A and B are shown apart, each in its own frame.
Chain A
């Protein structure tokens, strides 16, 4: 089956959005020789290069970007091969963007067809599961506790402790829910796992379910990720065929099935309790806590809820070989964080590194500065409810603790860069507008407060010096922060407060 020439054309949403699918269709029509095959690999996560086409010949693999290239002149596959070589293809693993990363969780993306389970197994895939099945549930949980892994969804709760809580519940029925409702603008790490290394998520889910005693898993996937859905369904099917999912997994006696549930356009359904409501077929309203989902979650049963990246990290921690992950970092900021860099930036994409990298390093060394060339004015960290840092704060370390000091959060790792043409008042208004649009409506401060917030900022935009509106905005932020039912309303004031503090006179003029 080994062909002489392998052409790697990524099948992934970002790459497809700039023409990878089109290129695939063109090239696959040109193929007429037996010794050429196309492999749909995943993205390497360097979006500025997409669509990044690679060719492997005689063991040597090189690639080059085909962004905005007109392929209509190509009539034969030889034409393409010649065209390809003329563009000076290179080894992507040698460029700084990739080389300087510490790809542990995302070690496989880009390399091969994400649905090729043999490739997955060849790169340590499913050994962790077998190991976990051998050492048993409690030992599995101990390994995860020891690793220091905290949730990658945004709340950074120690994963091992959550698993222990679910394990300790006395119930014959338990569930695992994977939160794949990656709703923050400018984030895509969950999507990359699902489109580019889905088996890592499935294996992670299987290990986690085994550890806590869950027999059924749900992946709650946002409706806006149709390609991820395709990959997941196919990966689940393959996993079942290979006895890595379903009944009596690898003869262990452990049964586990995964059901895919699709969202319907609600950001707040990424909040774990609203997500559970949605899975149960109800309106996506936030539930009060207590009870904690670990004690009474889906269908009132103990439920382990984890983010996609968190689950995809688990196999690595159960690898019987050395655990590189836990050696990096400290406190809550242990291991690597897959930062997602986008916005007004030259080089956007997935950057998996230690937490204690500085914002400057991320934006300048990896990102290479703004796309427009204008100076950086603001960087939003952690999604639409995250704080904005100004250009004088680039030396901020991206640890969970450091952001907390600034009354912010790393969140899911989204980093969005703005140049000096940005209107910070508009950004402040956007925070409220986003809340208006996505509020579930259950609690008053979010439902009504967000609407009033937009109105206040509208007025401030007409008159920055209004003392009344400034005070009103402050009161509103206080109320939303202190009384909201969930982080939707509770954190909406964060970006606004950061704009008031770090960007003086841009929203409110004293």
Chain B
């Protein structure tokens, strides 16, 4: 479509029970009470001139262009339409000679301190000052007329240096009109409060905090200020380079589970910039550094666009044609099955590709492979959510939409770091906290949300890694003993017998805060107070992440949280809920699509004959009725010699699986490893076939975010590889003897809708109409389902589950006295496959180890020095940062860089129910290092080898 510029209503939408009716320029208008005159006018097509108003920011009243008159006005000055609410019966005039003359005068004040030549400005065509000047006869030949207020000696701000420190955008003070939209956006939308104004009056200047430039400041490069800036003062570098775009494609971000809606703004089939789409229900016009700016990886020089094969993983890669690669793959797989049996091959669907692309891979496996050996990366992150919430509530998806957080009274974050992992949602959450919601944070680490501008957690419980279950049991214990449980809710909505069993269990002293003191390292008093706060909140919500699931008792903890939420009546309505913060852009979707060895699309068990029959009929095959291998089982079976071939779509196991030694061994044991990815990943080192994949900018399909919200992904350019990913999968199936007849990804979604009751109402057409849909979307809920378990749980009545604490076997001991836990930072995404190929590296290009001063000093470790990190599984070296953000006895690092390869030290421990690896607890020792570890040195040598490819 031509460039989409969303309407700016000037001030935020107001919700009110009452309406007011007034007149604007003679036209009657009715709006919710409290709505500004500006917004009311905007709704009837009257756009009052303005420069400082933006409908995602509170009214400010600074530019004065929006002055209006109204009948009965007293006094000399005109009020600003943005700050004045429309009153009943008010008769407003937005234009007359006087107002027009005053506005023109104000604009001439602006232009007396602004560069005049629009022709040479990078924002030419994308500037509100240019538009207003034009509307007031102050623009001629695309140049601002010399202001009547200018003379040879007038003071101005021309000639000040541009701040180009941030790799993605510039700040040009010359073009600043001091409207403060950037400061307000940073405060109100993002919540980082990095920007301010220095000095006052004419000397006012935008300043990025106490630093001199944006890059060195607290700015998190979310781009909200750039988006808010009405002139070319804050501007994307890509606009300066490529010019103002002329086309818009609406799509969805491919990074995290927030699933921000973006406008891909294009010029000559090239993305110039990604701008958040205001109508995006998940992000509401906001973004983070990754989605906004870090999309350059799609055209990075490392991108592989031709298929490659090699007989032996020690050989160099050979580029081939698609036909050859696919035939080779099919033949290899068939041969392996002939030799080792049907179950000796399997596949992995990606949580980064679209629903359609994931669906077709699990279909390939169930049809052409004739087995159920399919899994997805949820295995290693939220599979305990799947198990735990299914047991208690009946379904494993997030219960709320993001909007729900605006109604919370108490927010409890457990094992999640939303300001880095789900930044846009964190901003929404912070907005609610600034309004007064209480905050409890359970995390060994003092994450940013514990204390940041205008945010201070009421309670931070820095529990030791591995002590989640005693903590959550203690919370429930307190709720029960202090009678803070919701008896009516339990009686009406939960199974009585299970509840009674649970009461007997939870009220026992072994689950008291006192008993939890030792394992958690947090005082019983704090535990009690925090528990009280959660339990007495009218609307209390739990938001959690991998700090809950990636444990040997991950599923137990999920059930423990569900128990607490049910006991206190906090599931099934807005402002409450148990919310797993799904990490990947389409992990929810990938799970929905049946990417599990034991489930068909829509979470129906493979063992359910009726469910299987539906698919068998449509697919015209017989589907194996036994569950297949989980990914972790595939690797074990590979080492055991029984699993020999794998088709991996978009996942880098070698970097992201725990216990690297084991995973490398597994891959080395396989005979045909097929990787479908954008770049040569760590796993590709062990691959025999490389099938080049497409980035989200080339895809046409849907992603499902953490809210169960299905969003459209639309292509900006044709696949650079010449083939869509679903086409590759379809062709492999055909080469293996199973014909699929999809002509488009739309047809794939139609098939999904046909076969999956929770998706029956979903189609490209419907999505184009309404924007997005939260499943279930079917006859019972034709517009989708914002909140689940509203009248009753999906399984009927909620089921309390007994959650005995079984400590992990991975404990600190004499040899490995510290506990390592892992996490993420803001600028790198997971294993960094994409973000390491963008300018985000400027902020962080290595994993560092956080160590407490006490632990550092006893080991002779200084801030910034190289250290050796060792566990019973392996070792690596990395830089140490001495900090009190973590408790003594705990160390922390990220896993973004293969050079560090944090997973060489993580273990084979995993969740008892789902095999989700226990990434969050590893017993380690740290010591100063003189040089890199052996494998790291070897890797550097290998790296050059990996990159060599023979061209055909």
Contact = CB atoms under 8 A, between A and B. Distances in A.
Interface of A: 266, 283-284, 288-290, 436-452, 455, 459, 472, 475-476, 478-479, 481-485, 490
B197 A490 contact: no
Nearest to A448: B109
Contacts of B85: 290
A490 B200 contact: no
Given A455-B153, A455-B154, A484 B200 contact: no
A459 B151 contact: yes
Interface in B189-216: 196-197, 199-204
B113 interface: yes
23 contacts: A284-B200, A288-B80, A290-B84, A436-B202, A439-B201, A441-B200, A441-B202, A441-B204, A442-B60, A443-B63, A444-B106, A447-B178, A447-B201, A448-B109, A450-B202, A455-B151, A459-B151, A472-B149, A475-B148, A478-B105, A482-B102, A483-B78, A490-B77
A455 B150 CA distance: 9
Contacts of A485: 61-62, 64, 80
Contact of B83 (A288, A439, A440, A451): A288
B396 to A, nearest CB: 41
Q: Which of A450, A475, A484, A490 has the most CB of B within 10 A?
A: A475
A468 to B, nearest CB: 9
A284 B199 CA distance: 11
A444 B78 CA distance: 14
B185 interface: no
B110 A448 contact: yes
A444 B110 contact: yes
Given A452-B149, A455-B153, A459-B151, A482 B78 contact: yes
Interface string B361-394: 0000000000000000000000000000000000
Nearest to A481: B76
Contacts of A439: 200-202
Nearest to B109: A448
Q: Which of A449, A450, A451, A490 has the most CB of B within 10 A?
A: A451
Interface string B712-729: 000000000000000000
A437 B203 CA distance: 9
A283 to B, nearest CB: 7
B460 to A, nearest CB: 24
B411 interface: no
Contacts, number: 109
Q: Is the interface of A mostly helix, strand, loop or mixed?
A: helix
Contact of A443 (B61, B148, B151): B61
B62 A443 contact: yes
A479 B201 contact: no
A286 to B, nearest CB: 9
A198 B195 CA distance: 41
A445 B201 contact: no
Given A475-B105, A479-B106, A266 B62 contact: no
Q: Which of B63, B76, B203 has the most CB of A within 10 A?
A: B76
A437 B199 CA distance: 11
A484 B61 CA distance: 10
A438 B201 CA distance: 7
Nearest to B80: A288
B202 A448 contact: yes
A348 to B, nearest CB: 31
B67 interface: yes
Q: Which of B59, B61, B202 has the most CB of A within 10 A?
A: B202
B102 A483 contact: yes
A97 to B, nearest CB: 37
Given A439-B200, A440-B201, A449 B151 contact: no
A483 B106 contact: yes
Q: Which of A289, A445, A459 has the most CB of B within 10 A?
A: A445
B157 to A, nearest CB: 11
A448 B196 CA distance: 19
B933 to A, nearest CB: 50
Nearest to A438: B201
A298 B185 CA distance: 23
Contacts of A459: 151
Interface in B864-921: none
B201 A436 contact: yes
A288 B155 CA distance: 28
Across the A-B interface, the 6 shortest Cβ-Cβ residue pairs: A288-B83, A439-B201, A441-B204, A288-B61, A448-B109, A479-B105
Q: Is the interface of B mostly helix, strand, loop or mixed?
A: loop
B112 interface: yes
A418 to B, nearest CB: 26
A109 B149 CA distance: 50
Nearest to B69: A482
Contacts of A440: 200-201
A451 B102 contact: no
Given A482-B77, A484-B77, 5 more contacts: A440-B201, A444-B62, A444-B109, A450-B201, A483-B78
A476 to B, nearest CB: 8
A311 B63 CA distance: 35
B76 A445 contact: no
A442 B62 contact: yes
A449 B109 contact: yes
Contacts of A483: 64, 67, 77-78, 102, 106
A445 B106 contact: yes
Contacts of A290: 83-85
B64 A444 contact: yes
A439 B204 CA distance: 10
Contact of A441 (B113, B148, B197): B197
B184 to A, nearest CB: 12
A451 B85 CA distance: 32
A412 to B, nearest CB: 19
A490 B79 CA distance: 12
A478 B106 CA distance: 11
B202 A445 contact: no
A208 B35 CA distance: 33
Given A288-B83, A485-B64, A490 B106 contact: no
A364 to B, nearest CB: 33
A408 to B, nearest CB: 13
Contact of B102 (A436, A446, A455, A478): A478
B109 A445 contact: yes
A282 B691 CA distance: 57
Q: Which of B60, B64, B80, B83 has the most CB of A within 10 A?
A: B64
A193 to B, nearest CB: 29
Interface in B106-120: 106, 109-110, 112-113
Contacts of B199: 441
A72 B70 CA distance: 70
Nearest to A456: B149
Contacts of B113: 448
A490 B59 CA distance: 20
Interface string B74-115: 001110100111000000000000100010011001101100
A290 B83 CA distance: 7
Interface string B143-178: 000001101011100000000000000000000001
A475 B148 CA distance: 10
Contacts of A455: 149, 151, 153-155
Contacts of A478: 102, 105
B61 A451 contact: no
Contacts of B84: 290
A459 B152 CA distance: 11
B64 A484 contact: yes
A447 B80 CA distance: 17
B202 A482 contact: no
A459 B148 CA distance: 14
B86 to A, nearest CB: 12
B233 to A, nearest CB: 15
Given A444-B63, A447-B201, A447-B204, A452 B154 contact: yes
A444 B664 CA distance: 65
Contacts of B153: 455
Contacts of A450: 201-202
